[in-house]
Structure 1
Amino acid sequence: MRDSKKILDAWDAYSDEHTDLDGWPHDDHAHGMRASQRDADTVEAFEPLRYGARHLLATAETQLSQLAENTGQRRWVYQLGVLRDALDRLDELHEQWLTTRDALPITTEPGTAEFDDALAEHHAESWSHLDDWATHGKALREINSAARRARSPLAPVPAPARFHRSAGRK
């Protein structure tokens, strides 16, 4: 998620420098190529998290449900919903990509215009959902930190300290 945030920050800096005040690019082609690279980099940065993302969401939802009401942030419920919806959409887009890839002619492979254009389109469609993870993913860490600070209902209550009289005292 941190890498995705760095990619987004770099994109914002590039975009600010290479667009006019209305947000129109100075060079459409260069801007499009840079956006395509941003999309591919963001997909690559998310891949290590992708397969464990559902487990992370489930863990955060469980932790959040066990926190005392005044312990959490109100935005966490919303953020987990955004993350869940984004992950659902990313899964759908991944399935669409596999279908598209499998439908390409057998001679079409990475490096060919047909393959690379289809992959770039997939990355572009995925980008906003990956951006949701970069933007709201910090809620997972925040919830985990809050849960670790909170006393677990399963944790034993510490016994009061007992004082022993020494043999020489009365």
Structure 2
Amino acid sequence: MTDSKKILDAWDAYSEAHTDLDGWPHDDHAYGLRASQRDADTLTAFEPLRYGARHLLDTAQTQLAQLAENTVQSRWGYQLGVLGDALDQLDELHEQWLETRDALPLTAKPGTTDFDDALAEHHAESWSYLDDWATHGKALQEINTAARKARSPLAPAPARVPARRTAARK
């Protein structure tokens, strides 16, 4: 999710530079366009992960259940829940986008107002769930790392070195 982190950092810098002290944009139109670009970029960054995300979540759940309690971060279960809920919402929004796109007039193609406005709305609706993945997605790596470091119950025990005898020789 490093691309998402870069996108969010760039957005934060833009937002800070283009809003007043109360957080209101200096130029609503320009700010809205930049927010729309952030939304689209975030969705684009998530796309390569999207189709394997459910498998990643299932794997992390399995790994988490097998880890020793003293190696588990208390936040991991919560984070996996947030990621699962966000993925459910993203799947639903994707289906809604496909229905919306299919209902557009035949003249509505990328670059036309009808298409671009509908797509921008889809991106805006998806953004908070994508942000959840950007924020909590690192838990998947952390759980995997913990699982790799944990000794498998099937792994052979380390060889024991026999204790040396220190009896004096006569």
TM-score of the aligned structures, taking structure 2 as reference length: 0.93
Over the matched positions of the two proteins, sequence identity in percent amounts to: 82
Aligned residue type for 1:67 = L
2:152 corresponds to: 152
What is the SS of the residue equivalent to 2:69?
A: coil
- TM superposition shift of 1:158: 3.6
- 1:27 pairs with 2:27: yes
1:45-84 alignment runs, 5 A limit: 45-84=45-84
Q: Structure 2 unaligned segments of length 5 or more: list them.
A: 163-170
- TM superposition shift of 1:159: 4.3
1:96 corresponds to: 96
State the number of aligned residues.
162
What is the SS of the residue equivalent to 1:77?
A: helix
Aligned residue type for 1:26 = H
- TM superposition shift of 1:161: 5.4
What is the SS of the residue equivalent to 2:70?
A: coil
TM-score of the aligned structures, taking structure 1 as reference length: 0.93
Q: Structure 1 unaligned segments of length 5 or more: list them.
A: 163-170
- TM superposition shift of 1:108: 1.1
Distance, in Å, in 2 between the alignment partners of 1:13 and 1:158 is 51
Distance, in Å, in 2 between the alignment partners of 1:154 and 1:109 is 57
Across the aligned residues of Structure 1 and Structure 2, the Cα RMSD in angstroms comes to 1.0
Distance, in Å, in 2 between the alignment partners of 1:81 and 1:110 is 35
1:134 corresponds to: 134
Distance, in Å, in 2 between the alignment partners of 1:115 and 1:155 is 56
- TM superposition shift of 1:160: 3.6
- TM superposition shift of 1:155: 1.7
